[in-house]
Amino acid sequence: MEGAAVVARTLKALEVTDVFGVVGRPVTNIAMMAQAEGIHFWSFRNEQAASYAAGAAGYMTGRPAVCLAVSGPGVVHALAGLGNAWANCWPMVLIGGATSTDHSEMGGFQEAPQIETVRPYVKMACRAESLARVPFYIEKAIRVAMYGRPGPTYVELPAEVIYDLMDESKLVLPRPVPPPPLTFADPKSVRAALELLKTAKNPLVIVGKGTAYARAEAEATHFVEKTGLPFLPTPMGKGVLSDEHSQSVAAARNLALQSADVILLLGARLNWILHFGQTPRYNKDVKFIHVEIAPEELNNSVRAEVALAGDIKAVLTQLNDLLAKSPFQFPKASPWWNALNDKVAKNKAVNAKLCADERMPLSYYRALKGVHDTLPHDAIIVSEGANTMDIGRTIFDNRLPRHRLDAGTWGTMGVGMGFAIAAQVVHPGKKVVAIEGDSAFGFSGMEIETMCRYGLNVCTVIINNNGISMGVEDLSGFEKPNVPFFVYTPQARYEKLIEAFGGKGYYVTKPEEIEPAMRDALAQKCPTIVNIMIDTAATRKPQEHPFELGATLGGKAKL
Ligand code: ADP
């Protein structure tokens, strides 16, 4: 057997169903043998988007998908996805080809220090020194990616290992990796957590994407409903409990964070997304109850009053069991619920007014609302671009867990096309809608060819303001190359790109065109692009706490 066949057979034995990548020396035969084994090989235009897809597939399925990259530049391109998976705690395995060992340090073809390059972003990086060891390394890479805090791993296969031959009778295939063993929290701490919640005047539950990853939606919903506590999702925690749930206080986020006295933090880190858990965004005396699979994350930034190390599904089961024995319900008729409900109603009314603005050119709010109203309830929403994503988060409802993918912990722009492909691969029957700023789309726009080639039914919506953060109406007044740095080609007809590959495009400039274009696009069987022109100077409503950069620059820059 050739080495490439050993790799493919091992992946099959380990129940890997999808490999995302780009072929070339020395990995081409791995893709060929994977297809022969019945594994889907999704051939991309750039390893960057392929690696983003592998990470997102790992998040949605709970098992790592594989990204296959050629040596040197291929691995460097795929580093983007490794970094993104590392930052988001998503499992994935990167298999990188490498120049043959007998050319090491001699300027071999695409030679690069790959292990050193990936090392800071992976839980494990290894280089197979012989073909016989390949099954061991791949099994370990999958297991390590899944167990404990999920994350990426790397296996390097030098050319001589991929091209080597072994006797088929000597091949020992690994058994599939069982799901990670559940870890339960210390029962004493579980009791302390519930006691603390009972004493709170202003309690709050924050649902992070760790809860989504843990598939703890049933347990989280049970706990929130039995206790009557208000909850707030993080961006990718949206949908663990439906955004339409009556206990969601997402629309009163600032008030909820600032005034809560006890916060149950489920699978989210106190990083920039949650303002580090510190003042002025939080009450200085707030007490955190933190549930987290990685013990070393506990007490980070803010010391937890109760630190629960364990799997969220398991810990919520412990909390629910205890609650059944000693029930408590936070009263609906309380000053805290009244204040939250008032704020939710006020903020929703402000948003509704912005969304109803029919003036031309279109605002973000009107454009996104038009898109939202046409989506099926179980659509998978991919979202990126600064304003497109931030405003979209307040407009798009998620009703199901793991149905929102966005720029995430790393704030990575350019993930959308890879994520959308992964979402359609994982959920072939569902509508996948990638709502992209025009600049975010540009990073991996050529992957629309990948979508068309495989007939992946993704609807890409481009919210087009002619640039990064803002644009201009035309470039004729600028002497080149002194074109404003934030500007892209005005009125770019991105929708025409997809027609080159057999998809269908729509160009929208007026409010009344949005819904018909979206409905038609969603009814197509082929990939589509709906290019919606908005005001080149459109912005968010003023924020009480501007994002760091805006604040540092006196709110002048809106990057
Ligand atoms: P968000 O982006 O929603 O704020 P983060 O990515 O900051 O969320 O945090 C997710 C956290 O969830 C990570 O710290 C990760 O270790 C943790 N996590 C992942 N899986 C589990 C699990 N099964 N049980 C508990 N915690 C988990």
Cα of 208 vs centre of ligand 1, distance in Å, is: 6
Residue 223 alpha carbon to ligand 1 centre in Å: 18
Q: Give me ligand 1 centre to Cα 292, in Å.
A: 6
Query: What tokens does 344 get?
Result: 């939710």
Ligand 1 atom at minimal distance to the Cα of residue 214: 23
pLDDT of residue 546: 60
Distance 163 CA to ligand 1 centre (A): 40
Written as six digits, the tokens of 185 are 């929290």
Q: In which residue are the tokens 């081409």 written?
A: 28
Q: How far is the CA of 247 from the centre of ligand 1 (A)?
A: 22
pTM over 0.85: yes
Which element (helix H / strand E) includes 46?
Answer: none
Q: Which residue, judged by its Cα, is nearest atom 18 of ligand 1? A: 210
Determine the residue type at 147.
Y
Instruction: Give the pLDDT score at 469.
Output: 87
**pLDDT tens, position by position, for the chain (559 residues)?**
999 999 999 999 999 999 999 999 999 999 999 999 999 999 999 999 999 999 999 999 999 999 999 999 999 999 999 999 999 999 999 999 999 999 999 999 999 999 999 999 999 999 999 999 999 999 999 999 999 999 999 999 999 999 999 999 999 999 999 999 999 999 999 999 999 999 999 999 999 999 999 999 999 999 999 999 999 999 999 999 999 999 999 999 999 999 999 999 999 999 999 999 999 999 999 999 999 999 999 999 999 999 999 999 999 999 999 999 999 999 999 999 999 999 999 999 999 999 999 999 999 999 999 999 999 999 999 999 999 999 999 999 999 999 999 999 999 999 999 999 999 999 999 999 999 999 999 999 999 999 999 999 999 999 999 999 889 999 999 999 999 999 999 999 999 999 999 999 999 999 999 999 999 999 999 999 999 999 999 887 777 776 554 333 333 333 3
Looking at ligand 1, which residue's alpha carbon is closest to its atom 9?
268
Handedness of CA 398, 402, 406, 407 (dihedral sign): positive
CA of 422 relative to ligand 1 center, distance in Å: 20
> Mutation test of ligand 1: which of 149, 231, 402, 405 has the most ligand atoms closer than 8 Å to its C-beta?
149
Q: How far apart are CA 311 and CA 291, in angstroms?
A: 8
Place of tokens 């930034």: 301
Q: Which residues line ligand 1 (CB under 6 A)?
A: 88-89, 149-150, 208-210, 213-214, 234, 236-237, 267-269, 271, 273-274, 292-294, 297, 311-312, 409
Looking up tokens 């091209």, which residue turns up? 163
Ligand 1 center from residue 446 Cα (angstroms): 32
**Ligand 1 atom index nearest CA of 149:** 16
Ligand 1, atom 8, lies closest to the CA of 268
Q: Which atom of ligand 1 lies closest to the CA of 237?
A: 3
% of residues, the chain, pLDDT over 90 = 95
Nearest Cα residue to atom 21 of ligand 1: 210
Q: 210 C-alpha to center of ligand 1: Å?
A: 3
For a mutational test of ligand 1's pocket, the pick from 293, 412, 415, i.e. the residue with the most ligand atoms closer than 8 A to its C-beta, is: 293
Nearest ligand 1 atom to alpha carbon 311: 24
Take residue 334 and report the two structure tokens written for it: 């309380």
| DSSP conformation class of 236 | G
Residue to mutate (ligand 1; options 89, 146, 231; most atoms within 8 A of CB): 89
Q: How far apart are CA 29 and CA 6, in angstroms?
A: 11
CA-409 nearest atom, ligand 1:
2
Non-local CB neighbours of 557 within 8 Å, separated by 6+ positions: 549, 550
Closest C-alpha to 304, from 285, 287, 318, 283: 287
Amino acid making up residue 67: C
Ligand 1 atom nearest the C-alpha of 408 is: 2
Q: Give the nearest ligand 1 atom to 274 CA.
A: 4
Q: How far apart are CA 20 and CA 74, in angstroms?
A: 13
The answer to whether the Cα torsion of 440, 445, 447, 449 is positive or negative is: positive
Domains of the chain are 3-170 (3.40.50.970), 187-341 (3.40.50.1220), 357-533 (3.40.50.970)
